[in-house]
Chain A
Amino acid sequence: MNPLAAYLAVAALLFAIGLAGALIRRNPIIVLIGIELMLNAANLNFIAFWRYGPHPEALTGMIFAIFSIAVAAAEAAVGLGLVIAIYRHAQTFALDKMNRMKG
């Protein structure tokens, strides 16, 4: 089997799992975990294309993946902070109950 295709297949499956989790769960923390899984699937694609691409010494895919990890960390911090703030305000944890933007 083509090694790049195998990694891409794993990443596609991981992305689909993360998307399904983000769409079907009611707990916002687990929705954020699903989003992290999707970002990780994209990182796996970056690294796989870097490894099997024509110019690995240019490091493009590797650097992109590292910056993407940094953005994902910032996103997780702000997202979980928002989740905690919303929970303290609304005292509920079901996403379908959070349907008001008014404070």
Chain B
Amino acid sequence: MSPVFYLISAITLAGSLAAMLLQRTVHCALAVTVAFAGLALLFLSLDAEFAGLVQILIYIGAVAILVIFAILLTRSAGAPRGEVFSPHWKAGVAIAAVLFVVLGGALLRSIAVLPHETAAPAVTMRDIGNAIVGRYVLPLEIMALLLTAATIGGVIIAVLEIGGEK
């Protein structure tokens, strides 16, 4: 593996760790943006240019901004009031550690049968577009329905509470 891979992985993992451990919510949002950017670079290093660009556009462009807006609207930007970690944090860390050991064990056992370095796939954005509106057009339509439902649902949740209706 190239040094670039290790550098990008270290940035991604450090960003995600910081997002989960920092005290202030705004710092967590900024740290997770770094993690999203690192993931986009990992996608680019896997020759998945389209997925990398989509990652930048949606996660850094939309989800991070959405999180910042949520922090703004709930006035939780300042120093945290009270404890930031749950009282059962040891159990949570233990569950995550057990999961990582299980995943790592499965990975170590299957490492012999994993495929090795292959040539970069010759896939252009045109191929991806043709696949989305050709073979995968039904999932695309379902996705359109889902996004419409999510938009309407978000508006309804916000409007009902502003109107004072329960």
Q: Report the count of interface residues on B (CB-CB < 8 A).
A: 85
**A-B pairs under 8 A by CB, number:** 246
Q: Is the interface of A mostly helix, strand, loop or mixed?
A: helix
Distance in angstroms from B117 CB to nearest chain A CB is: 6
Closest partner residue, chain B, to A4 (CB atom): B114
Cα-based distance from A37 to B58 in the complex (angstroms): 14
B74 x A9 contact (CB < 8 A): no
Determine if A82 is an interface residue (Cβ-Cβ < 8 Å).
yes
B89 x A40 contact (CB < 8 A): no
B76 x A51 contact (CB < 8 A): no
Chain A residues whose CB sits within 8 angstroms of the CB of B84 once the complex forms: 25-27
B150 x A83 contact (CB < 8 A): no
Cα-based distance from A74 to B17 in the complex (angstroms): 24
Q: Report the count of interface residues on A (CB-CB < 8 A).
A: 75
B54 x A17 contact (CB < 8 A): no
Considering only residues 89-141 of chain B, those with a C-beta below 8 Å from chain A are: 89, 91-93, 95-97, 99-100, 103-104, 107, 111, 114-118, 121-123, 127-128, 131-132, 136, 139
Cα-based distance from A25 to B147 in the complex (angstroms): 28
Chain A residues whose CB sits within 8 angstroms of the CB of B157 once the complex forms: 78, 81-82, 85
Cα-based distance from A41 to B121 in the complex (angstroms): 22
Using known A-B contacts A2-B111, A18-B16, A66-B50, determine if residue A27 contacts B25 with beta carbons closer than 8 Å.
Answer: yes
Distance in angstroms from A50 CB to nearest chain B CB is: 7
Distance in angstroms from A65 CB to nearest chain B CB is: 5
Distance in angstroms from A96 CB to nearest chain B CB is: 6
Which A residues lie at the B interface, using CB under 8 A?
A: 1-10, 12-27, 29-30, 32-34, 36-37, 40, 43-44, 47-48, 50-54, 56-57, 59, 62-63, 65-67, 69-78, 80-85, 87-89, 93-96, 103
Sample of 15 more A-B contacts, CB < 8 Å, known A8-B114, A30-B19, A51-B46: A3-B116, A3-B117, A5-B107, A19-B92, A20-B93, A22-B92, A27-B25, A40-B35, A52-B117, A53-B115, A62-B50, A75-B150, A76-B66, A88-B161, A96-B86
